[in-house]
A and B are shown apart, each in its own frame.
Chain A
Amino acid sequence: MGGSGRQSLFAPFGVEARYQLSLTGWLVLAAAIILVGVLALSITGIRRKGKPIGHQSGIRMIWWLGAVFPTVTLFALLVVTLPAMRPIVAGVDALKIAVTGEQFWWRVGYAGPQGGVVTANELRVPVGRTVDLRLEAGDVLHSFWVPGLAGKMDMIPGRTNRLVVRATKAGVYRGQCAEFCGLSHALMAFDVVAMEPAAFDAWLAREAAGAAAPVDAAGAAAFARHGCGGCHAVRGTDAAGMIGPDLTHIGARRSLGAGMQPMTIPNLARFVRDAPSVKPGARMPAYPQMTPEEAQAIARYLKGLA
């Protein structure tokens, strides 16, 4: 599943994150200088053997170092950083993507003709194009955070928050929920794939299409028999549930269980049969009555939904 640094401010691939990284560098430098200065003054104050300074000199020290210096420094800092607090303007041509946080996964919808495309746990963005993210929450608070792309933005029931971003470098990255949301808060991540615009358009077109023909008919039958379609949708079949993640192209996704495991048949089989053991507190129940063979068949069917 890739190397380290996929989910790091130190590996930025977005306009905001690049700015934030350089801001961090300057802030750390300034902080280090101030820290050394304060420590040097304290230690000298204790160690020095000469004549103590007078009361008036002490007052001057408080005035210049305690009051004037921080006031000037902080004012300068504010002036320099204020422009970055302005919202980025998303033009009409911006790509609109709706992301909804659910316990403990992400519903992702791309605006487009015929109601757009719904998928889950994987965000794909075109490099160089402004993306207007509409962030909502389905149940409790979550927070959308892709450190390499931009700062985080909370997802709040009853509100729609906007986060406007622009990727600058293609690659596979990672994001994670940053607002405590329950038992599996730690297990709520997602892949972020920044793609060249042409590749992105091609991917979106594939994603908009219905499900592929079942590669494992027994798996498809078991999927229907166990009522999976009550919660999950597989476009082009009878499965039309909206409670859980859309599975139309699950086999093409990079990871399973909201960024938890590689999308392999054994992992799928385990998840299908006993999701709570992989994800404590998940709303998907365990299916102890399902045989391991059925689970394998369903897993093969799902992996085939590429």
Chain B
Amino acid sequence: MSLHAQDDPALREAQEDRLRAVWKPPEGLFLRWTDTNNNRVGVWYVLTAFGFMLFAGVLALIMRAQLAAPGNDLVNASTFNQLFTLHGSMMMFLFAVPMFEAVSIILLPQLLGARDLPFPRLSAFGYWSFLIGGVFVAGSIFFDAAPDGGWFMYPPFTTRTDLSGLGADIWMLGLSFIEVSSVAAAVELIVGVLKCRPPGMRLNLMPLYAWYILVVAVMILFAFPPLIAGDLLFEMERLLGWPFFDAAKGGDPILWQHLFWIFGHPEVYIVFLPSIALFAMLIPTFAQRPLVGYPWIVLAAVGTAFLSFGLWVHHMFATGLPKISLAFFSAASEAVAIPTAVQIFAFIATLWAGRVVWSTPLLYAVGSVAIFVIGGLTGVMVAIAPFDWQAHDTYFIVAHLHYVLIGGTLLPLFGGLYYYWPLITGKKLSDRIGRTAFWVLFAGANLTFFPMHLSGLMGMPRRVFTYPAELGIGNLNLASTVGSYLFAFGVLLVCVDLALSPRRAKSPRNPWNAGTLEWLAHPDDEDWGIRSVPLIESRYPIWEQKDFVQKVDEGRFFLPDAEEGRRETIVTSVIDARPVQVLRLGAPSAVPMMTAIALGSVFILTTYHLYTLALVGAAATLALVLYWLWTGTAEIPEKEEKPIGHGMVMPLYISGGSATGWWAMFITMLADATAFSGLVFGYYFFWTVRPEFPPTGPGFDGPGVLWPMVALALTAASWGATVAARETHARGGVGTARILLAFGVVASLAAIPAGLAGPWLSGMAPKLHVYPAIVWTLAIWTVAHSGVGAIAQGYALARSIAGRMTPRYDADVRNVTVFMHFMLFTAVVTYLTIGLFPEAS
């Protein structure tokens, strides 16, 4: 297809008809919910997260009413504890993180000039999981069964079933489910950024929002799994009585605090960096010039992410840690202010270097920076251990964290809403309502949270349902309460503005005169995303590339057609964005939703101890996942390759290290290995804090050396067989490869009893002491991976026999091999730890 051909309007119209037909959303009462297009799923996701934010906000208003006066009795202690637990948990897990993912699901394909994300069905699965888990957790408050242990859920209060009830299980299992969907979305976004950029968009030409998505998604990938590992230990203690956090049986409640804050501190930056990313998009637009210091911003974002994993202990300054570690973590906590300052000054420098166009989104951006800087400065204060010993767990911290989150998440999101609303709906929001709302929100936030600095230092601890008049903080609290209702009124104004939007006229295309790709979106948007995938030569192509918009619209770039009636997007190489493939995307399907329902049932039924039904749910989940993979992935195309324009011809099927599926598997397994590391950390943590670990004496026999080594040998054999199968298969040895895979299945299955034989034959009793409990946990985790490995090997074997995998089309066996690499790593660490470490120590 040459430039010449696209001159023909009839041809363009025919192409548009085909694209429109391919991307037509499913219709019908039920079927419309089976859509997987990022434009739909993203919008559902945003609306749901917004709804949860309003819900959690109302919970806070009830708390503020209770605290308006000393000794108030509007709600009792039990309700109040549920309110603050749910408020914090929902704002973090059901609003801040999902909102980032939701906005990214909408924006990322547009920023990258892609038709959709690489795994649209995975996005849909993530959304439905989020909705089910969120409703489950949030709804519990209507049954007086909401979690009441604080959003940090510190044991032993929360693990003792005599002290905390069903709420703790709802928190652990409901939110674990959502954490799984968060990790799924992170995988999707990372692969999207790395592999679905338009041709020519080298890493250093990426829009900054895409950089931040990459950084934040990688943070999610490494931050959430330790919490998932913690959740696992936590529920094992609650449901089975394995004493990981019970000091009387060798456990230690501090382990939870480590695992929680290894997640919890990066979490702060996970919810803050996306807002910086929004600034990085809208400030150049309103300064009408490229951002000053692009490489500085990227470096600062990466630096923040890196440092944020080294600060978690500053949440534990008052736990009596060695003073030397206090000094180290104080220093690291202060250091993270430096990349943050770099980012903020890059924005200020851009304003100075541009000709600023004043606007509502810019008002929100500047206002939120003002609030955020206050939170950042108090953050530096609490990074200093001697000050933190006073401020920790008081209302000073409540003030600090709300300044950070309102200035660093909520107000920037509202700014982003005013900025991107025309992109999503084709209409601008009202400047008048928007600016009024801003000032109400700004006044409300300061009136609510500034007095809390004082009430905290005047003796008000966090999480108290009441306080005595004699502390002299009644007026400060009353001011906070008035401020919170003022703030709520500001949120209401924004909602009114949104509700009035359908009645307003369409705005012109690219109303802010922005320079980045997402503003190619047309007010009468089509579902295909972008008319043709452009060739990118600059960071602000709409400003800097000649006739850019016209060329895109006339289909003069790549992939302007959908000849075969399939949803497609272009896959490019990771660093320099050379096109490598035309990726066939999944069409709308009910399978993601059904899989989410099945997996959700496993978590929810386990909460109510309905284990048999939960097993049925697990079997259904497995069946659905296999069906999904079988029918929807690694499909052998009807032809080898297709032209994408400009004389370029791209393959329709690739496998191995340049394929999206391989990357998704690799990234997922990184998360898996991180969760596993959390468990291994537990083992060695107990060794460092307990002088006698492993303990000696009757009943404390270890698993021995023999069986762990047998299990390791079997796992290694299974791994070797899979690698050999991949290699012989690629050389045409299909028969040999099948035999090797079959052998692999047998070896993986044999590794299961061998892995459990050590602790089983030694009679290790996990309820007795933390040592047998953690050994059992590592063994079960590892043999579960052997089980999944056997299923994966069997799947590849079945695909080969069914003719869905051939030496040319071998993605299945290559992806299974990636899993097996990580499986071998898991087995080596586990079996050497449980088998040999006791011998050495």
Q: Which residues of A contact B (CB under 8 A)?
A: 1-10, 16-17, 19-20, 23-24, 27-28, 31, 34-35, 38-39, 41-46, 48, 52-55, 57-59, 61-62, 65-67, 69-71, 74, 77-78, 81-82, 84-87, 135, 139-141, 143, 145, 147, 150-154, 156-159, 161-162, 174, 176-187, 189, 280-281
Contacts and interface: CB of A to CB of B under 8 A. Distances in A.
B463 A58 contact: no
Interface residues of B, number: 83
Contacts of A139: 156, 163
B205 interface: no
B81 interface: yes
A140 B156 contact: yes
A52 B463 contact: no
A158 B248 contact: yes
B77 A184 contact: yes
Contact of B386 (A54, A81, A156, A161): A81
Interface in B154-205: 154, 156-157, 160, 163
B190 to A, nearest CB: 28
A141 B156 contact: yes
A156 B353 contact: no
Contacts of B567: none
A62 B350 CA distance: 10
A180 to B, nearest CB: 4
Contacts of B154: 141, 179-180
Contacts of B103: none
Interface in B410-465: 457-459, 461-465
B156 A151 contact: no
B369 A77 contact: no
Contacts of B385: 81, 84-85
B374 to A, nearest CB: 6
A1 B458 CA distance: 17
Contacts of A20: 386-387, 389-390
Contacts of A150: 389
B549 interface: no
B377 A154 contact: no
Given A27-B381, A58-B293, A182 B157 contact: yes
18 contacts: A24-B387, A27-B387, A53-B349, A58-B292, A66-B345, A67-B342, A70-B337, A77-B380, A81-B330, A85-B323, A140-B163, A152-B318, A152-B393, A156-B319, A158-B247, A180-B150, A183-B77, A281-B77
Given A139-B156, A140-B160, A186-B466, A48 B352 contact: yes
A61 to B, nearest CB: 4
A86 B458 CA distance: 25
Contact of B337 (A74, A87, A185, A280): A74
Nearest to B251: A158
B431 to A, nearest CB: 16
What 8 pairs across the A-B complex have the smallest Cβ distances? A151-B389, A158-B247, A4-B472, A66-B345, A45-B351, A7-B459, A186-B464, A161-B320
Contacts of A44: 352
A183 B352 contact: no
Nearest to B392: A152
Given A8-B459, A59-B293, A177-B461, A156 B320 contact: yes
A177 B459 CA distance: 10
Interface centre among B349, B380, B463 (most CB of A within 10 A): B349
Interface stretch (B355-363, B634-642, B715-723, B752-760): B355-363
Contacts of A54: 353
B231 to A, nearest CB: 19
A38 to B, nearest CB: 5
A66 B467 CA distance: 42
A101 to B, nearest CB: 12
A254 B540 CA distance: 71
Interface majority SS on B: helix, strand, loop or mixed?
helix
A5 B471 CA distance: 6
B331 interface: yes
Nearest to B292: A58
A227 B354 CA distance: 80
Interface of B: 76-78, 81, 149-150, 154, 156-157, 160, 163, 247-248, 251-254, 289, 292-293, 296, 318-320, 323, 326-327, 330-331, 334-335, 337-338, 341-346, 348-356, 358, 362, 366, 369-370, 373-374, 377-378, 380-381, 384-390, 392-394, 457-459, 461-468, 470-472
Nearest to B324: A85
B345 A65 contact: yes
Interface centre among B149, B341, B394 (most CB of A within 10 A): B341
B393 A143 contact: yes
Given A70-B337, A182-B157, A9 B247 contact: no
A85 B385 CA distance: 7
A16 B388 CA distance: 12
B357 to A, nearest CB: 10
Nearest to A44: B352
B247 A151 contact: no
Interface centre among A9, A53, A78, A139 (most CB of B within 10 A): A9
A9 B342 contact: no
A32 to B, nearest CB: 8
B374 A35 contact: yes
Contact of B327 (A17, A82, A135, A187): A82
Nearest to A45: B351
Nearest to B288: A52
A210 to B, nearest CB: 33
Contacts of A43: 366
B243 to A, nearest CB: 11
Given A74-B334, A152-B389, A152-B392, A46 B362 contact: yes
Contacts of B462: 178, 180
B351 A46 contact: yes
Contact of A31 (B289, B352, B354, B381): B381
A31 B378 contact: yes
B157 A9 contact: no
Interface centre among A28, A31, A42 (most CB of B within 10 A): A42
Given A180-B150, A180-B463, A61 B349 contact: yes
B344 A38 contact: yes
Given A153-B389, A154-B319, 18 more contacts: A9-B457, A10-B457, A20-B386, A23-B387, A39-B373, A46-B366, A58-B353, A65-B345, A70-B341, A77-B334, A78-B334, A84-B386, A151-B318, A156-B247, A177-B461, A182-B157, A183-B78, A186-B466
A108 B734 CA distance: 76
A35 B390 CA distance: 23
Given A10-B457, A154-B320, A280 B77 contact: yes
A3 B470 contact: yes
B346 A66 contact: yes
Nearest to B320: A161
Given A140-B160, A159-B320, A178 B370 contact: no
A7 B458 contact: yes
B358 A46 contact: yes
A16 to B, nearest CB: 8
A86 B348 CA distance: 39
Contacts of B330: 78, 81-82, 85
Contacts of A157: 156, 247-248, 253
Contact of B459 (A65, A82, A85, A147): A147
Contacts of B345: 61-62, 65-66
Contacts of A184: 77
B320 A162 contact: yes
B471 A280 contact: no
Contacts of B335: 74
A143 B318 contact: yes
A4 B474 CA distance: 11
Contacts of B373: 34-35, 38-39
A78 B374 CA distance: 20
